[in-house]
């Protein structure tokens, strides 16, 4: 099933994977009381605690299906984005889409040009978190050398904002021809749109 979801994403479709497992009322109540409620009210590391709580209940799942939904852009979107970029207006996309889907859509609407160098900053694990500052600095060096598009994952974006690296992030973003923040949460979208360049 997951290979279908990946093919859907590569084709620019919005994907959703369905999975299930049976849990007892007792297991559910224990999870809510011991993990989820505490994570919800945490004032420090709330995001990580919610992820940990979700991982405790979302295990042993059996994939039962996946979908790919076409979300067609309006006809003039590619032309409009191209015109904005020709006028030296920086275009940033903040989306909850998976990385592959976001990049395919960005390419189809001419936000990411085939001539641009693409700097990708993942945020999938602790190693990515430790390497984040170096990745941001390397990205700045690449962006200074020619047309560049930045693709940053929501986890990496969260780490950059939480670790006080918003200056490096905004420097890199301002040097790039375009920026795609994928897997972004509503809070991250608010944070990024509040940053002063």
| pLDDT attached to residue 21 | 93
Instruction: Tell me the mean pLDDT in the region 131-135.
Output: 82
Residue of 69, 66, 60, 68 lying closest to 18 (CA atoms) = 66
91, 181 contact by CB (below 8 A): no
- Burial of residue 101 (CB within 10 Å: 0-12, 13-18, 19+) is buried
Query: Is residue 1 predicted with pLDDT exceeding 70?
Result: no
Q: Are strands 62-69 and 14-20 parallel, antiparallel or unpaired?
A: antiparallel
Query: Is residue 100 predicted with pLDDT exceeding 70?
Result: yes
| pLDDT attached to residue 11 | 74
| pLDDT attached to residue 197 | 59
What is the SS3 assignment for 118?
strand
| Residue 196 or residue 103, greater confidence | 103
pTM strictly above 0.75: no
| pLDDT attached to residue 28 | 93
Query: Is residue 126 predicted with pLDDT exceeding 80?
Result: no
Q: Which residues contact 112 (CB under 8 A, 6 or more apart)?
A: 103, 106, 118, 149, 151, 178, 180
Instruction: Quote the tokens at residue 33.
Output: 């009381």
Rg (CA), the chain: 19
21-62 per-position pLDDT tens digit: 999 999 999 999 988 888 888 778 777 888 888 888 998 999
């Amino acid at each position: 099933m997951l290979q279908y979801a990946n093919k859907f994403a590569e084709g620019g479709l919005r994907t959703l994977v369905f999975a299930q497992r049976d849990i007892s009322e007792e297991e559910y109540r224990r999870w809510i009381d011991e993990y989820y409620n505490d994570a919800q009210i945490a004032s420090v590391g709330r995001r990580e605690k919610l992820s940990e709580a979700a991982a405790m209940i979302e295990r042993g799942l059996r994939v039962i299906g996946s979908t790919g939904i076409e979300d067609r852009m309006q006809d003039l979107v590619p032309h409009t984005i191209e015109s904005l970029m020709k006028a030296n207006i920086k275009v940033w996309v903040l989306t909850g889409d998976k990385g592959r889907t976001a990049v395919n859509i960005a390419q189809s609407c001419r936000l990411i040009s085939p001539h641009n160098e693409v700097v990708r900053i993942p945020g999938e694990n602790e190693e990515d978190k430790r390497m984040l500052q170096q990745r941001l600095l390397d990205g700045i060096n690449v962006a200074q050398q020619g047309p560049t598009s930045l693709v940053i994952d929501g986890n990496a974006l969260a780490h950059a904002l939480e670790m006080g690296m918003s200056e490096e992030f905004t420097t890199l973003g301002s040097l790039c021809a375009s920026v795609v923040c994928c897997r972004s949460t509503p809070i991250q979208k608010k944070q990024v749109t509040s940053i002063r360049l």
